[in-house]
Structure 1
Amino acid sequence: VTQKQFHLFYQVFRHGDHTPQEFFPTDKHKEIARQQGYGQLTKLGIQQQYELGQYMRRRYSHFLSVVYKQNYHPKCFFLFFLQIYVQSTDCDHTLMSAQANLAGLYPPTRDQIWNPRILWQPIPVHTMPLSQDNLLYLPFSHCPKYKELLRETFATRDFQRQFKHYKQFLKFLATHTGYPLKKLTSERIWKLSDTLQYEDINNYTLPVWATHGVRTKLIKLSELLLQAEFGFHKQIQKSRLQGGILLKTILKHILDARKPSYHQKMVMYSTHAATIAALQMALNVFNGKLPPHSACHFFELYQEKNGQVSASYTANMQYTIEMYYRNNSLREPHPLTLPGCKFRCPLERFTHLVSPILIPYWTREC
């Protein structure tokens, strides 16, 4: 009888709803920044992440301990390990998202309750300066080869065929937002879309020009530009320089998890829409849609055993990977299948299929 034993859970999620990171020049609501700050997680964003943490607690209640704690190594009392590792980009809204998520995942119990009116406990979240983040803060722009690939992409017939429908729209945006046309870069388009979405959700009066149709078209343009960043043209080469870097780290953890000495159960990354898009483009499972707030791509590693359970090191083919994408809190996550494999993909096959986008020396290839 084949039995599945859960070994590791790996999640990469987008931050929750946050205040705008910048306001367009003609925006009438710049007082938001004075009142709440730039790029700060909102109450809605906190709730989104808290619910994601609660969902993960329900899903993995059989696997993660109820109590957040350090565990001593079973063979060496002087060594200890943590069940989980959490890393975030160095942005306020991603750091706050990780903390809100952990509040839902690890509410304090019994001896951990330090104040009966505050069911929360501090849990470490690791980060590094954005200028040094070569893992989570995508796209990595400090790569000459990637910049060359982007220039090629924007010149391709396929991209230009779709982009031509937005040229008049960009002039429209420049006229009404106050941005010079040349300043409407991909990043600024994404931020403009985020700003209008925030103001709409939080019941601020939108400009007359920012109709539902305009906001919908802005989202479509954002999605086109996001796909251009990581796909359209020479997608494998781009993935080697972008999402493949993150996938390489994830795969290393997954491969290490087969060893008896590995005791970590969960790795959590608090990131951005572009991070998820880059990862999914590298895996060739991207749906073309902008990942919503608190969207989560996660991996589950299983060891399949026939008959008896063995503690010894076993071959790759006894391990399988399942992938899921949670982009809607009202339904179960979507199962994702790596092209060329079945949903429950043997680890050896998974590793082989993604090997073309894994590079040993990123700086050399850039």
Structure 2
Amino acid sequence: MNFEYNDRNNTWQQSERVTGFRRCFNANRIMLSITTVAVTVFICLVAFFLFGGNNAAVINEDVKTLRLANIIYRHGARNPTRSYTADPYKNYEWPGGLGALTNLGKQQLYNLGVTMRKRYSGYLPDDYDDNDIYIKSSAKSRTLMSAYTFLAGLYPPTPKQTWNSNIAWQPIPVNSLPRELDPMLAMKKPCSEYDKHFKAMQESSEYQKLNDSLRDIYGNMSLYTKDSINSIRIVEDLYTSLIIQKQNDLKLPEWTDTLDHDRLKKIAAFSLSQITYDDFMIRMKGGPLLLDILQNMKNKRSHELKPNRKLFVYSAHDLTLVNILKALSFKEEILPDYGATLVVELHKLPEMVDFEVKLLFYNNTYMAEPHRLEMPTCKSPCMLSMFEEVSQKYIPVDWEKECGNS
């Protein structure tokens, strides 16, 4: 069964066409003993009540071979990060301020934590143990808060870990680097060679042609906003702000009715995609996270993972997801929804010498079951040795040196 990205609703969904981003649902089959009808009914009932349905039972089978999971997600719903001169809501008091995680965003990441707890039931112990999980976050308030709410859903305190009977929560550490030192999640660490590539992209004839095709949008938006709208990135920011206002039941100005929603969404998706426009840019922006994930899996395979963790979690941004997907050789231009999640799992089947890498994707935090993705350059079963080989293209040997920082 094939899947393609639908940019109208930000989801991967079933398609009759074969695309570069192919997805294989695990067949929803449960291997049941058929010795007696009574045994069959019993197993079905257990699967339903314990795991919530057939898909969960399949996932439970996956857990038997699971050796490591890497989870990368976008933070939850947030407030706008910017306003504009003619914005009727420029003085609106957004709870927590511009860019802050909303209550909905907190609930979304809590729900994601609950989903992951169900998925890894039988693999991840109920009791929190620092040796089982390591979580990294971009040093932004909304990603840090997303990490804490995710962990609240993943690790509700067991009776022996309950420290206050009035609070169903326990403190769990989240690690981060200052944004200006982080090349992996915030991707704000300076890289002079990358800046040269980005500038060359903007000056290319192809980019200039695209920019010229958007002059009508720039002109109309500048007229109505009373701001100078002259770049793809500014259009993305403005479009996102308008969407958030609408999602918060704020009546938008009449001029927004004239906007071509589908066209703006494609512009916004390209705005994220342009950050990894060529192979070098992918190496610098997606490579560090890919290297971290690969190293986690290699260390697990060689028994050198100390502590011997079960789960690595990365709390990050839409751009982080776009960049890591590019580093995994997916080419589609996407707009990850709040809480969209990529999972890179490492499995060991008894009949296989090597370990298998599986990619899963949750479009949002409301999905109970993920889509199975097939990496374009590492067809299923994607063995770790092959995954490592095809990943070298986008992994920097020396990030600082390649950036021209040393």
**Aligned counterpart, 1:75:** none
* Corresponding residue SS for 1:86: strand
Name the CA distance, whole Å, in 2 between partners of 1:29 and 1:122: 37
Matched, 1:239 2:282: yes
**Aligned counterpart, 2:240:** 194
- Mapping of 1:29-40 within 5 angstroms? 29-33=89-93, 35-40=95-100
Percent identity, aligned pairs only, is 30
Contact 2:137 2:143 in 1 (8 A): yes
Give the CA deviation at 1:189.
3.2
Name the CA distance, whole Å, in 2 between partners of 1:159 and 1:114: 57
Give the CA deviation at 1:38.
1.9
**Aligned counterpart, 1:312:** none
Matched, 1:151 2:227: no
Matched, 1:223 2:275: no
In terms of mean alpha carbon deviation, does 326-335 or 48-57 score higher? 326-335
Residue from 248, 253, 269 that aligns with 1:207: 253
**Aligned counterpart, 1:278:** 323
Letter in 2 for 1:174: S
* Corresponding residue SS for 1:69: coil
Name the CA distance, whole Å, in 2 between partners of 1:100 and 1:31: 29
Give the CA deviation at 1:164.
3.6
Name the CA distance, whole Å, in 2 between partners of 1:335 and 1:162: 34
**Aligned counterpart, 2:182:** 133
Contact 1:53 1:104 in 2 (8 A): yes
Residues 137-157 of structure 1 deviation map (CA, whole Å, 9 limit, x = unaligned): 13x472222222223323445
**Aligned counterpart, 1:181:** 229
Residue from 152, 170, 176 that aligns with 1:121: 170
Name the CA distance, whole Å, in 1 between partners of 2:260 and 2:214: 11
Contact 1:50 1:100 in 2 (8 A): yes
Contact 1:8 1:264 in 2 (8 A): yes
- Mapping of 1:277-356 within 5 angstroms? 277-306=322-351, 317-328=353-364, 329-330=366-367, 332-356=369-393
- Mapping of 1:83-94 within 5 angstroms? 83-94=132-143
Give TM-score, length-normalised by structure 2.
0.78
Residues 285-329 of structure 1 deviation map (CA, whole Å, 9 limit, x = unaligned): 24312111101111000122239xxxxxxxxx5111001111132
**Aligned counterpart, 2:150:** 101
Letter in 2 for 1:168: D
Measured on the aligned residues, the alpha-carbon RMSD in Å equals 2.2
Give the CA deviation at 1:162.
4.1
Give the CA deviation at 1:205.
1.5
| Inter-CA distance 248–35: structure 2 relative to 1 (3 Å threshold) | closer
Give the CA deviation at 1:212.
7.7
| Inter-CA distance 189–91: structure 2 relative to 1 (3 Å threshold) | farther
**Structure 2 stretches lacking a partner, 5+ long:** 1-61
Give TM-score, length-normalised by structure 1.
0.86
